């Protein structure tokens, strides 16, 4: 087992791919912020961190105490050090400008500080998702500065707070996974150049929404459920953790397909998951690992963002299986 630390890995990776020193420093800062979030999460009821607050976020969702703490840890951990020009998060209506006392850097950082909030109080894995873009130069930073498509990402990743705390990220040269060594409190490289198996017999979707989906997804899932006797001619297993980070992590480790498609519960919402700090970073990782990520008819990374908190359908994972879903969309368009 490799005992390369995050710092050692980053030094080598930077030299190998001629990466910007400030980008490397930013990854270190994000990793340190995630370590702080990990410490709060693992305290649970002992730390008085469970439960909800009275307030709602911009999405109209009640915020958990840990949502707000994790958001603060990300802001505090990344505003110093001169790597970022501004930050944006699921938990804030608008972007966060770096306070005047700190120097600004060349990057924009977006994050979902604690994804899978509904799982916080029941001790199921949650995580932090992040995306790094370049800040426009010579102009004032506004919310619109963040509206760059997913291909513009310079880095993306997540930390998962599960039985082990892990950090997976990509700087555009493959996906690498680190496990937090509990005794040394240090990130150690444990998963090198992660690849998602192209084929799978495991799907993840919230089945309770079956009746609300469009035709394409209903047919696809029906055909999976029909098993060896159906048109897919194989048996499928189903998993749904309701923490995107945990569902995507399983796919990173053993393949699979994750779907949160549009549904007609609230026709004004074009999906549940958010493009800028959930779908884009996860799609960047999935593509870097050889998988595929679409929002129905196009690659998520090619979607031109219209708003900081924009939602969309997300289908990602094993390349061949995602292509199969794309074919169902194509077929049911007519």
Q: Least distance to Mg ion from the beta carbon of 209, Å?
A: 17
Applying CB under 6 A, does 321 fall inside the site for ligand AHM? no
Neighbouring residues of 139: CB distance < 8 A, sequence distance ≥ 6: 145
Of 255 and 271, which has the nearer Cβ to ligand AHM? 271
| Cα 256 to Cα 319: distance, rounded to the nearest angstrom | 9
Q: Least distance to ligand AHM from the beta carbon of 173, Å?
A: 27
Q: Which of 112, 263, 287, 321 binds Mg ion (CB under 5 A)?
A: 112
Binding mask 3-42 for ligand AHM (x = CB under 6 A): ----------------------------------------
Q: Which of 63, 243, 288, 318 binds ligand AHM (CB under 6 A)?
A: 243
* Bridge partners, residue 191, by sequence: 177
For residue 74, give the nearest of 87, 56, 55 by alpha carbon: 87
Q: Phi and psi of 275, rounded to 5°?
A: -65, -50
Q: Is 115 strand, coil or helix?
A: strand
Of 254 and 333, which has the nearer Cβ to ligand AHM? 254
Q: Which of 31, 108, 112, 294 binds ligand AHM (CB under 6 A)?
A: 112
Q: What angle do CA 52, 279, 281 make, to 5 degrees?
A: 100
Of 9 and 260, which has the nearer Cβ to ligand AHM? 260
Of 246 and 257, which has the nearer Cβ to Mg ion? 246
Residue 45 neighbours by CB distance under 10 Å: 10
Of 91 and 263, which has the nearer Cβ to Mg ion? 91
Q: Least distance to ligand AHM from the beta carbon of 209, Å?
A: 7
| Cα 303 to Cα 131: distance, rounded to the nearest angstrom | 15
Q: Least distance to ligand AHM from the beta carbon of 202, Å?
A: 16
Q: Least distance to ligand AHM from the beta carbon of 204, Å?
A: 8
Applying CB under 6 A, does 242 fall inside the site for ligand AHM? yes
Applying CB under 6 A, does 91 fall inside the site for ligand AHM? no
The sign of the CA dihedral 264, 310, 32, 247 is positive
| Cα 314 to Cα 302: distance, rounded to the nearest angstrom | 13
For residue 22, give the nearest of 100, 78, 88 by alpha carbon: 78
Of 115 and 202, which has the nearer Cβ to ligand AHM? 115
Q: Which of 66, 111, 115, 281 binds ligand AHM (CB under 6 A)?
A: 115
| Cα 261 to Cα 168: distance, rounded to the nearest angstrom | 25
| Cα 85 to Cα 312: distance, rounded to the nearest angstrom | 27
From 7-15, 111-119, 219-227, 264-272, span contacting Mg ion (CB under 5 A): 111-119
Of 78 and 243, which has the nearer Cβ to ligand AHM? 243
Q: Least distance to ligand AHM from the beta carbon of 5, Å?
A: 29
Q: Which of 77, 113, 116, 261 binds ligand AHM (CB under 6 A)?
A: 116
From 33-41, 104-112, 139-147, 317-325, span contacting Mg ion (CB under 5 A): 104-112
Do residues 217 and 265 make contact, with C-beta atoms less than 8 angstroms apart? no
* Bridge partners, residue 213, by sequence: 263
Q: Is 176 strand, coil or helix?
A: strand
Residue 229 neighbours by CB distance under 10 Å: 8
Using alpha carbons, list the distances in angstroms from residue 128 to 7, 116, 237, 246: 20, 9, 27, 11
Applying CB under 6 A, does 125 fall inside the site for ligand AHM? no
Applying CB under 6 A, does 244 fall inside the site for ligand AHM? yes
Which residues lie near ligand AHM (CB under 6 A)? 61, 90, 112, 115-118, 206, 242-244, 260, 272
């Amino acid at each position: 087992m490799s005992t390369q630390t995050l710092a050692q890995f980053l030094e080598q990776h930077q030299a190998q791919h001629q990466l910007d020193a400030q980008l490397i420093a930013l990854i270190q800062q994000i990793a340190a912020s995630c370590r702080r979030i990990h410490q709060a999460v693992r305290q649970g009821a002992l730390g008085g961190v469970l439960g909800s607050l009275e307030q709602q976020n911009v999405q109209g969702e009640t915020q958990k105490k840990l949502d707000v703490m994790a958001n603060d840890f990300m802001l505090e951990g990344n505003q110093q050090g001169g790597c970022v020009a501004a930050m944006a998060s699921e938990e804030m209506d608008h972007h966060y400008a770096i306070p005047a006392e700190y120097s600004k850097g060349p990057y924009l950082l977006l994050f979902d500080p604690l994804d899978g909030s509904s799982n916080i109080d029941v001790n199921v894995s949650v995580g932090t998702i992040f995306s790094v873009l370049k800040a426009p130069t010579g102009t004032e930073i506004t919310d619109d500065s963040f509206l760059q498509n997913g291909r513009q990402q310079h880095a993306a990743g997540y930390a998962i707070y599960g039985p082990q705390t892990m950090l997976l990220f990509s700087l555009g040269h493959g996906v690498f996974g680190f496990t937090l060594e509990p005794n040394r409190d240090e990130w150690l490289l444990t998963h090198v150049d992660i690849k998602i198996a192209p084929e799978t017999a495991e799907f993840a979707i919230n089945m309770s929404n079956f009746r609300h989906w469009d035709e394409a997804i209903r047919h696809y899932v029906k055909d999976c459920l029909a098993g060896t006797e159906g048109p897919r001619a194989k048996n499928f297993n189903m998993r749904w953790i309701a923490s995107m980070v945990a569902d995507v992590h399983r796919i990173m480790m053993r393949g699979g397909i994750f779907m949160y498609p549009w549904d007609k519960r609230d026709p004004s919402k074009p999906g549940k998951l958010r493009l800028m700090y959930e779908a884009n970073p996860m799609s960047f990782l999935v593509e870097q690992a050889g998988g595929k990520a679409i929002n129905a008819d196009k690659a998520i990374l090619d979607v031109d963002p219209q708003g900081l908190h924009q939602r969309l359908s997300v289908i990602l994972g094993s390349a061949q299986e995602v292509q199969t879903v794309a074919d169902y969309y194509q077929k049911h368009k007519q």
